[in-house]
Amino acid sequence: MSKDYSLYPGRFFKKSERLRSHHQALSPLFAFYSEEPDFAGHLRHLSLDTSRRRTIYIHIPFCTRNCTFCNLNRIKKLPPEDYYKLIIREIKTYASYQYVSEGVYNAIYFGGGTPTTLSTLGLKKILRTLRSSLTLAPDAEITVETTVFDLTKEKISMFKEEGVNRLSIGVQTFSDKGRRLLGRKGTAQEVIDKITFIRESGFQNVGIDLIYNYPGQSEDELNKDLSNIESLDLAGLSFYSLILHPKSALYRMVNTGKCAPLGDLKQEWNYFNLILDRLLKRGFSFLELTKLVQPNRDSYNYIRIRYENGDTLALGAGGGGRLGDVIYFNSPNLNIYRQQVKSSVGLPKRGFSIDYRYDIAHRLIGKLQFGQLKQVDLDFFKEDSKYLQRLTKDLVIDGLLQTHSAHFSLTRKGIFWGNNIGQEFARVLVRLLAHKTKNKNK
């Protein structure tokens, strides 16, 4: 690699840890949360804003098997029979509030876990309840996350009939050895055959998750993964360097010598560049920090709307969303969630109020996630703007940002360190906005 690409930009990243999650970039914004003790009462009095775009998120925290690298809130079993009925009941409860029922929803996202662990009937009834209880935009993006083997031919056919138009498949790797290490079911050929069938069934917007730099992965194995991505004519892929979570089975395997160690940061950078060098030449382009897409095949409206500070109606155990100026979370505990849905109110008791400061910072971090950081209106910060100017200047010096006539954009190295940069912007904005509010109240 060229010496211009120092792996450790010194001004902000004195430690060598690279942040690999956008949640880490957003963590400083918790400073703008304040508890809202009556979520239902607040929702009842929200004023409708027809200009606000909306999404729906449905959380299905169940998996038929646990991946060795996962430490998230997942339940290793099939969903209980009443789970889809709880979600339907939740939809109808929210639809009884004018603010929810009179909005138009531009995107729906079934996440997890593995949403396709739900029965075909359960998934169909949820989709039909959404259409009958709420107003969906005619071109609404409807995404379902799935594994290859939980997505049966019956479900593929039903999704086509019910208007699902975007599938996100957790492949992680096509390497048989890598799949066994990561706890994925089936062989590479079985994965290829299923994705081919999905594409031949008429789904144009099919993407996968790809993990790189997992323990023992060779450059040849990564190249074979990329060859399969090219030959399958996928709409896009989300690519993640493996995060070795301390509570995961893979962490224990690495630390007890039962598998190869995780590749170091230099190898991570080399593999990152290998992915870009191959796929950008094949016509893929960046949609966000960890997502490449083919032109006009995938817009990922769900995440765009969230970063625009749009609403997200969140359903299911562990689901988190935003309605108006309140962020809220369902309990991840299945029994508590069930009690909540069946209670007289049917909603979470509490939420977290946010204000214009959160929106300013969140929107800016969203622009960064999508690779183009348009200049903030520095007049808004007046005398405080020098701190933001200093940050952007230092990032340019470090080779992480490049300037254009009206905006900044991330360099390739900046994309690699994008979540670290996002977190640093968030920290600066929290300080500036808190200072601005303090002066305003004097």
Q: Is the pLDDT of residue 104 over 60?
A: yes
What's the CA gap between 431 and 29, in Å, rounded? 10
Give the Cβ contact number of residue 382 at 10 Å: 10
What's the CA gap between 241 and 75, in Å, rounded? 24
Rounded to the nearest integer, the mean pLDDT of the chain is 89
* SS (HEC) of the chain: CCCCCCCCCCCCCCCCCCCCCHHHHHHHHHHHCEEECCHHHHHHCCCCCCCCCEEEEEEECEECCCCCCCCCCCEECCCCCCHHHHHHHHHHHHHCCHHHHCCEEEEEEEEECCHHHCCHHHHHHHHHHHHHHCEEEEEEEEEEEECCCCCCHHHHHHHHHHCCCEEEEEEECCCHHHHHHHCCCCCHHHHHHHHHHHHHCCCCCEEEEEEECCCCCCHHHHHHHHHHHHHCCCCEEEEEECCCCCCCHHHHHHHCCCCCCCCCHHHHHHHHHHHHHHHHHCCCEEEECCEEECCCCCCCHHHHHHHCCCEEEEECCCCEEEECCEEEECCCCHHHHHHHHHCCCCCCCCEEECCHHHHHHHHHHHHHHCCEEECCCHHHCHHHHHHHHHHHHHHHHCCCEEECCCEEEECHHHHHCHHHHHHHHHHHHHHHHHHHHHHHCC
113 upstream amide cis, omega within 30 of 0: yes
b/e code 86-125 from CB counts within 10 Å (16+ = b): bbbbbbebbbebebbeebebbbbbbbbbbbbbbbeebbbb
Confidence of residue 12 (pLDDT cuts 50, 70, 90): low
Amino acid at 123: L
Confidence of residue 245 (pLDDT cuts 50, 70, 90): confident
> What pairing do the DSSP bridges indicate for beta strands 135-146 and 166-172?
parallel
Q: Is the pLDDT of residue 394 over 90?
A: no
What's the CA gap between 376 and 357, in Å, rounded? 13
Tens-place pLDDT, residues 249-258: 898 999 899 9
Q: Is the pLDDT of residue 387 over 80?
A: no
Listed range (220-234, 245-259, 334-348) with the worst mean pLDDT: 245-259
Please work out, in degrees rounded to the nearest 5, the angle formed at the alpha carbon of residue 181 by the alpha carbons of 177 and 183: 115
Q: Give Dmax (Cα) for the chain.
A: 67
User: In this structure, what token pair is assigned to residue 394?
Assistant: 């230092």
Amino acid at 400: L
Confidence of residue 364 (pLDDT cuts 50, 70, 90): confident
Please work out, in degrees rounded to the nearest 5, the angle formed at the alpha carbon of residue 239 by the alpha carbons of 235 and 241: 175
For the chain, report the end-to-end CA distance as a whole number of angstroms.
53
Listed range (70-84, 149-163, 428-442) with the worst mean pLDDT: 428-442
Region of residue 247 (left: phi > 0; alpha: psi -120 to 50; beta: else): alpha
The answer to whether the CB of 121 falls within 8 A of the CB of 88 is no
Q: What pLDDT does residue 433 have? A: 84
User: In this structure, what token pair is assigned to residue 253?
Assistant: 């395997």
Confidence of residue 338 (pLDDT cuts 50, 70, 90): very high
Q: Which domains does the chain have, with CATH numbers?
A: 34-306 (3.80.30.20), 356-440 (1.10.10.920)
Higher pLDDT, 327 or 436: 327
Listed range (186-195, 215-224, 343-352, 419-428) with the worst mean pLDDT: 419-428
